[in-house]
Amino acid sequence: MADKFEQEIEEIIRKSGGDLPPSPRAARRSVRKAKETKGRWRPPLNAGHLMLGSIGLLLVGVLLWGTSSGLGGMIMLGSVILFLFSYLLFFGKRATGGRYEKRWRGQPIIDRPPPPVSDRLRDWWRRTRHRN
């Protein structure tokens, strides 16, 4: 049914000589592409990719260990350094320090500290005493 209406609208626009607006799917695609390209460029590598690469380099270093040039040892040392760097990236603290602001519908939520144990016990006592 919606397709029928869209076709009728497009026909009316064509008859009036106006340009057709882009289809909703094309508009969504262009917005998504704009969002993807917007912002800072980030390298396509993450800590997991670096760890896998360092393990691959370690295997290459092991295979080249027997050469007289010492290239295998240098590659192995580099792979160990790369692995440690990626380990720190993976388990290191984030730039925000692991803290984030809790929000509800765009407004920050202010956390109140929990009430003292004495207040909780008093409230519990009042609730249990007035059940009957």
Q: pLDDT tens, 103-126?
A: 888 888 887 888 899 998 998 888
CA of 68: how far to CAs of 42, 61, 78, in Å?
39, 13, 18
Could you tell me if residue 98 is left (phi over 0), alpha (psi between -120 and 50 degrees) or otherwise beta?
left
Q: pLDDT tens, 17-51?
A: 766 555 655 555 555 565 565 556 666 778 888 89
What are the residue boundaries of the structural domains of the chain, listed by start?
A: 46-90
Q: Is the pTM of this model over 0.75?
A: no
Is the Cβ–Cβ distance between 53 and 65 less than 8 Å?
no
Angle formed at CA 72 by CA 75 and CA 55, multiple of 5 degrees: 50
Token pair in block for residue 101: 């602001």
